[in-house]
Amino acid sequence: MIRAAIYARVSTARQADHDLSLPDQIAQCRAWCEKQGMEVVQTFTEPGASALDEDRPVFQEMIFTAKRTDQPFNVIVVHSLSRFSRDAMHSEFYIRELRKAGVQLVSITQEVAQDGSGEFFRKLINVFDEYQSRENAKHVHRAMLENARQGFWNGAPPPFGYRTEIAERRGSKDKKVLVIEESEARVVRHIFDLAAGGAGRPMGIKAIASHLNERGIARRGHKFSTGSVHVILTLATYAGRHQFNKRDSRSGRSRPPSEWVEVEVPAIIDETTFNAAQALLQSRAPKRIAPRVVTTPTLLAGIVRCGHCGAAMILNTGKSGQYRYYACVNRLKKGEVACRGQRMPMAKLDNIVIDAVAERILEPQRLEELLAEYLKTAQSRDDKQRDQLKSLRSAHGDAEAGLTRLMDLVERGLMDVSDPALRERMIALRFRRDELAAEITALSQRLASADPTITPEKVRMLGMLLSKQLHRGEPELRQAYARLFLDEVVVNDSRIQICGSKSVLARSAGAASDDSAEGVLSFVRKWRARQDSNLLPQD
């Protein structure tokens, strides 16, 4: 008796769940086999797989089984040739592979003779099946685009933080939209907060995933991974802008922005927070800055540079870590021929920089001198700030114009949307635009107020706070404060040059609290270690 295997397939998971096609295909194939006197030894069922895809798991399992040396079956029976494949080239390839193994493909609804004319007829059917499949896909895709333009969700699993809800019913079709799933949205907000440093020092993707997993916070029953955290931090949907049709679902290639459909969805975070997260991720990318510089508590990591060649000075250890030095990376990797810069003990350089900063910058009288221009009378301050406001608005307009020009280049096909340089420039411009908008808002509010934002008392408070934390703070705390106003430390044979920003000091002084000298910047971790931040009054 001829041994037969049945292969049944439907294109979508929805058909597999709600349609009778699979059991109907199997029943008809079994009945046909009985009439032909064939014994059905195996049934292969493939729910929700496109016939244009050759990487179907069950399909590949069937081909592998058919090519076994013990030949478990002689015939593969399908309801129609389109169930086997709708790609003419793939179909012919696998039919030939089966023939080499002594296995024949048979369609119960399309009788094809096993001769030259039958071969021609089968190939013709395959070509028509492929054409019909691609036409159907084209019409379905057009309907999905229109559905997205009308603001409806197209049926894919909603992003974490959202769920779908039926908005209206048109005939037998349910039209769904995204709504916020608050229990998940809280986790999304927490992730953006961790990335921005709301709970201390800004956390990287891996640290965020570990933080969530350690606390038992799951993503729909699964642990968080670096990939899932990265998707959340880079998905524009959370800022209220879901973009449909960004990629070709078959090839995975990016489509030009002119083909994207933007769907307005409820925002879980504001756009400024989202753009700031993109800029932070880009600034911490391993291609731009070494991970050790981002994560190390070393005080001057990423700041100190060699005065001879301009290269970074990195941490270098001796005797199993007992001794620590800052050393020129060029000299370490290439020898004295590349740079004659010297090593300097880490503790010695840290102390020199801290003492110099405390004595020459943070000493109250010196700090007042440095910030003298910020302590001028209200009238002179207002005149300068009005000019500054005009300049900020001009720069904001330039950033907006830059974004428009980039999008125009993409629309005209002069730049590829998948180009990493384009993405980097877009993120930088968006972050710059939002940063300028925040400065414009803050400056406008200050101009509307008659009170000076920076006072001698606030300057003294800032000096005491920074000096105290730089001398006695924990390593991570010291580094966070050092990075606040130190831009660069250049080490030569005879001198150490320290560069920083007065404007950052001025902004920090303006934000200082009038009633407490213990205020701490938002990105510093463990500032109330082992205590709740909202302490109850003592009895």
pLDDT of residue 182: 92
Sequence-ordered alpha helix ranges (H) in 78-170: 81-84, 88-100, 116-149
Per residue in 520-533, pLDDT tens? 333 333 344 444 44
Phi/psi for 417 (5° steps) reads: -65, -25
For residue 244, the domain's CATH number is 3.90.1750.20
Highest mean pLDDT among 250-264, 344-358, 402-416: 344-358
In a domain, 153, yes or no: no
For residues 327 and 471, membership in a common domain is answered with yes
* Rounded percentage of the chain residues whose pLDDT exceeds 70: 76
Lowest mean pLDDT, pick from 204-213, 434-443, 475-484: 475-484
Q: Tell me how far apart the alpha carbons of residues 178 and 534 are, in angstroms, rounded to a whole number.
A: 36
For residues 278 and 341, membership in a common domain is answered with no
Per residue in 149-179, pLDDT tens? 888 888 788 999 999 988 888 877 888 888 9
Is the pLDDT higher at 427 or at 520?
Answer: 427
pLDDT of residue 185: 92
pLDDT of residue 417: 67
Expressed as residue numbers, the domain containing 401 is 379-442
* Mean pLDDT, residues 346-352 taken together: 83
pLDDT of residue 390: 82
Q: Tell me how far apart the alpha carbons of residues 456 and 383 are, in angstroms, rounded to a whole number.
A: 20
Sort residue 321 into left (φ over 0), alpha (ψ -120 to 50) or beta. Answer: left
* Rounded percentage of the chain residues whose pLDDT exceeds 90: 12
Burial 42-70 (b: 16+ CB within 10 A, else e): ebbebbebbbbebebeebeebbebbeeee
In a domain, 169, yes or no: no
pLDDT of residue 506: 66
Lowest mean pLDDT, pick from 362-371, 455-464, 515-524: 515-524
* Mean pLDDT, residues 317-330 taken together: 76
Domain count within the chain: 4
Q: Tell me how far apart the alpha carbons of residues 216 and 334 are, in angstroms, rounded to a whole number.
A: 47
Q: Tell me how far apart the alpha carbons of residues 510 and 517 are, in angstroms, rounded to a whole number.
A: 13
Residue with tokens 């990493």: 420
Write a three-state SS string for 473-497: CCHHHHHHHHHHHEEEEEECCCCEE
In a domain, 517, yes or no: no
Q: Tell me how far apart the alpha carbons of residues 98 and 254 are, in angstroms, rounded to a whole number.
A: 36
pTM: 0.48
Per residue in 36-63, pLDDT tens? 999 999 999 888 666 566 778 888 999 9
* Whether residue 418 has pLDDT greater than 70: no
Predicted confidence band at 516 (pLDDT cuts at 50, 70, 90)? very low
What residues form DSSP beta bridges with 327? 314
pLDDT of residue 161: 92
In a domain, 227, yes or no: yes
Per residue in 120-145, pLDDT tens? 877 888 787 777 777 777 777 788 88
For residues 326 and 385, membership in a common domain is answered with no
Instruction: State the chain's mean pLDDT as an integer.
Output: 77
Q: Tell me how far apart the alpha carbons of residues 304 and 326 are, in angstroms, rounded to a whole number.
A: 8
- Of 389, 418, 442, the last residue of a domain is 442
Give me 514's structure tokens.
Answer: 């009038």
For residues 82 and 47, membership in a common domain is answered with yes
For residues 270 and 210, membership in a common domain is answered with yes
Give me 283's structure tokens.
Answer: 């600034």
